[in-house]
Amino acid sequence: MLNKTFWVSTIAVVLTALIVLLILPKPNTEQFDLLIVNANTYSDGEIHPQTDIGISNGIIQQVSPNISGSATTTIDAQGKTLIPGLTDAHTHTFGDGLKQALKFGITNQIDMFTAPSILSNAIKQRLDINNTQNADLFSSGMLATSSRGHGTQYGIDIETLSNPEEATAWVSKRKIEGSDFIKLVYMPHMLHSQNMNSLNKATAAAVIDASHNAGLKAVAHISSQRGAQDMLNAGIDGLVHQFADSEVTDAFLQQAVKQNIFVIPTLSVIGSADHQEFSLSLAKNNLVNKHLNSMQQQQLSSRFHSDKLPGFNYQLAALNTKKMHAAGVTILAGSDAPNPGTVFGASLHQELQLLVDAGLSQSQALNAATSLPNSIFGITKRGHIKTGQRANILILNSSPLDNIENTLDIHTIIKNGVIFNRDAKYEPNATQPAAIKDGQLSDFSNSLTNNNGMRWVKTDDAIRNGKSTVDINLDDNTLYVNANVRSGFVFPWADAGLFTETPLDISQYSQLSFRVRGTKGQYTALAFSEDRTNLPAMQNFKVDERWRTVQLNITDFDSFDASSTNGFALVAANKVGQFEYYIDDVKLH
């Protein structure tokens, strides 16, 4: 009996103690890659003060008031505000755009028309958790437009539509190419020039139906309320611009709310077309300009046309956005970069400011660039700060809920769990560059080569299956270039370049100069260095019939490494047409 009492009591107590010790709460003892502590965290319209965020393998593993795990890197975000990585819901991505966007904390771009050839790579990259140096791209790919319709003027091969019967086959091709949704251009009522054209109403409607049948959303570029009304009647999911030709009617508002469409007003680009000057103030903002290259600086100060375009009344665009928002139409933030007056990245921040000016609260504007676009476009694991999401996070020094301009007051950008170095040039190279012997690069007195082992060569987009051609010749101690730039590749080019086999260290020089004359227009000098995987660094210069000397600062070639130069090229910038030009006296100073 006593023996039994002993066993029963002892086993009962020991077992109870074991169970209690096992069920007592344990901290998450995971070793995190990155731990952000004490942050005011904004996600989905709510701010959570004093939150810790544990990140491993590029994914947010834990969000809680107190994480006691340890981490390789810990950021004390006391007094700072965290927002999800931003989504720009209207861009046209090419070149370095995804990196330029990330420099401003845009971790996702929803592209509204780009070359279909880049889609498969974009999909591969956005699935890759190690894609930490570029924003992720989601895209419509090719757009649905008519022959001579808007979109055909950019030199990208487009399969145009002329009747409703073509819609189903056209959409299924896009789906195979990797389009995430379908964008169509419908602007029969307001064309920007006489020789332009547009999809007709029946074809546009057929494209929308075909998209829906294929399980894709359909969005429309419109330029007038009449166009928007037609699209609404045809069952469009969203409009990718605000119309700015007339004040939105109550009937339109009611129908838009009833059909639950969304609108991406792109006030930035409408403002630029209407000669509003806010992109200039963006370029002057110290939080912005140090992260822009010279091309982008120029981009922000450039305009569409010398005359204001009809149908682009900024006040009406802002008013319509305000009325739509008030009525309950979902508004998303999109910049339409890199159109004139806009740049990748920075312009989305400006768009947020313009949306707040148009009546959205700071919180609603943030949602328009975080949670909303991702849920509407079916983009998963992005746009929120919560467990299981991609660790795309912006740490801001000051709260955007106090002032939306504070989204530019960036402390740290985190892409897929890795701190993005906004100021980094790129990784150091493997090939040992040789020292340059002679700053006198070419006077074309008798050859296309120089003392440094460099040679003038012709380059064109034929290597990318483009259709452009170019000829270069020595002509009277100058270099004669005859380039015929034709549509075919997304960035058609044909030009002359001076290249070296072994990279050269030219860092003792500060300036590149040359003399040039030729077909009038804006040209671009490209600088290539060893480690560039994307587009080369660029600076623009002007050319006309008279000889002129062009002097370019080497340091203005953004993210160009002068210590391992591969060469330079002088090109007629990204325009289709015939160009003849002469180059002479190419020197480094």
What are the residues binding other proteins (CB under 8 A)? Answer: 1-7, 9-10, 13-14, 16-17, 20-27, 29, 68
Q: How far is the CB of 559 from other proteins (least distance, A)?
A: 46
Q: How far is the CB of 21 from other proteins (least distance, A)?
A: 5
Distance CA 235, CA 259 (A): 8
Nearer to other proteins by C-beta: 14 or 280?
A: 14
How many residues does the structure list for the chain? 589
Nearer to other proteins by C-beta: 68 or 465?
A: 68
Nearer to other proteins by C-beta: 29 or 445?
A: 29
Q: How far is the CB of 280 from other proteins (least distance, A)?
A: 50
Nearer to other proteins by C-beta: 21 or 251?
A: 21
Q: Provide the β-strand partners of residue 414.
A: 393, 419
Q: How far is the CB of 43 from other proteins (least distance, A)?
A: 22
Q: Where are the beta strands (DSSP E) in 65-201?
A: 70-76, 81-84, 86-91, 106-111, 136-139, 182-185
Q: What is the Cβ-side half-sphere exposure of residue 385, based on CA atoms within 13 angstroms?
A: 32
Q: Where are the beta strands (DSSP E) in 425-493?
A: 434-435, 440-442, 454-460, 469-475, 478-485
Q: How far is the CB of 4 from other proteins (least distance, A)?
A: 7
Q: Provide the β-strand partners of residue 586.
A: 442
Q: How far is the CB of 321 from other proteins (least distance, A)?
A: 45
Distance CA 460, CA 468 (A): 6
CA 341 to chain centre: 14
Q: Provide the β-strand partners of residue 86.
A: 106
Which residue intervals of 128-277 are DSSP H helices? 167-177, 201-213, 225-233, 250-258, 267-273
Distance CA 169, CA 356 (A): 41
Nearer to other proteins by C-beta: 26 or 290?
A: 26
Q: How far is the CB of 56 from other proteins (least distance, A)?
A: 18
Q: How far is the CB of 49 from other proteins (least distance, A)?
A: 14
Residue pair 49/401 in contact by the 8 Å Cβ criterion: no
Q: Which two tokens stand for residue 268?
A: 């930035």
Nearer to other proteins by C-beta: 4 or 290?
A: 4
Distance CA 161, CA 149 (A): 10
Q: How far is the CB of 393 from other proteins (least distance, A)?
A: 24
Which helix (H) or strand (E) element contains residue 42?
strand 31-43
Distance CA 421, CA 412 (A): 8
Which helix (H) or strand (E) element contains residue 364?
helix 362-368
